[in-house]
Amino acid sequence: MTTALSGNPSRWLRTPRPRPSAPVRLVCLAHAGGTAAAYQDWAPLLPDDIELSVVQYPGRHDRIDEPCVDSMEEMADAIAAVLHPAAGPGLVLFGHSMGAAVGYEVALRHAAQGHPPRRLIVSGRRPPHRHVGGDVHTKDDDALLAELRSLSATDRAVLDDPDLRQLLFPVIRADYRLIERYHRASPPRIDTPITVFRGSADERLPGHDADAWRDLTTRGFDQRVFPGGHFYLRDHARDVVPAVVRAIGTAPGQAAPGPAEGTGT
> Would you state the pLDDT for residue 53?
96
Least confident of 23-27, 65-69, 143-147, 230-234: 143-147
In this structure, which long-range contacts are made by residues 248-251, counting pairs with CB atoms below 8 Å and at least 24 apart in sequence?
Answer: 248/24, 248/26, 248/50, 248/92, 248/118, 248/119, 250/119, 250/193, 250/220
> Would you state the pLDDT for residue 3?
39
Quick one: pLDDT band at residue 164, thresholds 50, 70, 90?
A: confident
- Does residue 105 carry a pLDDT above 90? yes
- Does residue 256 carry a pLDDT above 70? no
Over residues 112-136, the pLDDT tens digits come to: 999 999 999 999 999 999 987 777 7
Question: Which DSSP category does 190 fall into?
Answer: B
User: How high does pLDDT run on average in the chain?
Assistant: 87
- Does residue 6 carry a pLDDT above 80? no
Which one, of 151, 146, 172, lies nearest residue 70 by Cα? 172
> Would you state the pLDDT for residue 171?
92
Active site residue 97: yes
Q: Which residues contact 8 (CB under 8 A, 6 or more apart)?
A: none
> Would you state the pLDDT for residue 87?
60
Q: Which amino acid is at 250?
A: T
- How many other C-beta atoms lie within 10 A of the C-beta of residue 41? 13
> Would you state the pLDDT for residue 2?
40
Candidate list 6, 10, 71, 97, residue with the active-site label: 97
**73-82, 165-174, 255-264: which is most confident:** 73-82
pTM of this structure? 0.88
Least confident of 80-84, 199-203, 247-251: 247-251
Q: Are 101 and 95 in contact, with CB atoms under 8 Å apart?
A: yes
Average pLDDT over residues 81-102: 88
> Would you state the pLDDT for residue 85?
67
Scanning the chain, the segments in alpha helix (DSSP H) are: 9-12, 72-83, 98-112, 141-151, 156-159, 162-180, 207-211, 232-235, 237-249
How far is it, in rounded angstroms, from Cα 200 to Cα 225?
A: 6
Quick one: pLDDT band at residue 8, thresholds 50, 70, 90?
A: confident
Over residues 175-233, the pLDDT tens digits come to: 999 999 999 999 999 999 999 999 999 999 999 999 999 999 999 999 999 999 999 99
Over residues 134-157, the pLDDT tens digits come to: 777 777 778 888 887 777 656 666
- 3-class SS string, 47-109: CCCEEEEEECCCCCHHHCCCCCCCCHHHHHHHHHHHHHHHCCCCEEEEEECHHHHHHHHHHHH
> Would you state the pLDDT for residue 184?
92
SS3 of residue 249 by DSSP: helix
Domain 3-133+185-249 has CATH 3.40.50.1820: yes
- How many other C-beta atoms lie within 10 A of the C-beta of residue 33? 23
